[in-house]
Amino acid sequence: MKINFNSGPAALPREVLEAAAEAVLEYEHTGISILSLAHRSPEFEAILDEARHLTLDILGLDNSYEVIWFQGGGRLQFEMIPMNFLAAQETAAYIDSGHWAADAMSNVARYGNLHIAGSSAVIRYRSVPRILDIPATAKYLHLTSNNTIYGTQCFDFPNTEVPIIADFSSELFSRRLDYSKFSMIYAVAQKNLGPAGATLVVAKKDFIKHTVRPLADILNYSVMADKNSLVNTAPVFPIYVSLLNLRYIASKGLAQIELENEEKARMLYEFIDHSNLYQGIADKDSRSKMNVCFTIARPGLEQDLLAFAESMNITGIAGHRSTGGFRASLYNAITIDDVQALIKMLATFEADINK
């Protein structure tokens, strides 16, 4: 199999894929495929229950938090957040740290007022904003913890009484944090959690119980929580594969996963910094441990490098279409050996063109 450095849908651990493949044929002696499992069956309710307990346990959160599954990806969350929590005359604060953070901000004006608490747009998002202006009256502060397109990551979070909502899509379950600082976090599954098709929301019960306007049940966090994510037909298979991955994370331990992610990022950044051909994009104090973004010093070689990588069974290192360059996503399923193979490929390509 190829080593998949894609930013999403991303690589999953082989043991997760094998267990999922078995369940596609037959789920736990039920006589039916997981793809045909009824979303209101006792078997699926058990999947939801285990996923809830594992999520809270791994994140170090208690039962004051709800675990809710949605469809619609991050863009639905961008819309639902102000829809649920921001009244017409109220203000929400947003940190503009990259493409997806700006996309989240673009939904606010339909519901209330937007305050940009900090932005790094003027420097093309090379770093995470650190000088922040957070109004005490803001209904919430929204931030994006890891920026996949520009390869930056937040390592220090604001100390504020304003409720914080964080998009953890591309780094959830990759490191230890005090997640109780956040009133709500959310993550699309297709990074460190599972396949595309499900979005995980973890939110304080007290925070989501009051919405500011009448909403359909499917768009109401509190109702979705009360109905155990089953207002509509839930994405059974993506949630099940996410459960398999949660079991994998729990068995390995978040501390060990964090250590491995630190080492993978260190190795690759160290190679890039000592190369005469490759150049990092993000400022060093904001470098993402999940998405290593870099360019090549000799224009015109981009397609040659991508083709060479494919010939070495390495895929998914092309940069985002809006920025070009290259991006290696070092999610949990990527091993240290995988990163060593990537470095060897990059070094071989550099040596070959310098002959």
> Which residues are known to be catalytic?
100, 167, 191
Q: Give the integer Cα–Cα distance in Å for 183 and 203.
A: 6
Residue pair 55/202 in contact (Cβ under 8 Å)? The answer is: yes
Among residues 240, 243, 244, 220, the alpha carbon closest in space to that of 232 is found at 220
Residues 52-85 as b or e (16 or more Cβ within 10 Å = b): bebbbebbebeeebbbbbbebbbebbbbbbbbbb
Phi, psi of 247 (to 5 degrees): -60, -40
Q: Which strand (E) or helix (H) includes residue 65?
A: strand 65-70
Q: Where are the alpha helices (DSSP H) in the chain?
A: 14-25, 42-59, 73-85, 99-105, 205-208, 221-226, 236-252, 254-273, 302-311, 336-353
- Phi-psi category of 85—alpha, beta or left, where left has phi over 0 and alpha has psi -120 to 50? alpha
Residue with tokens 């080492």: 263
**DSSP-assigned letter for residue 228:** T
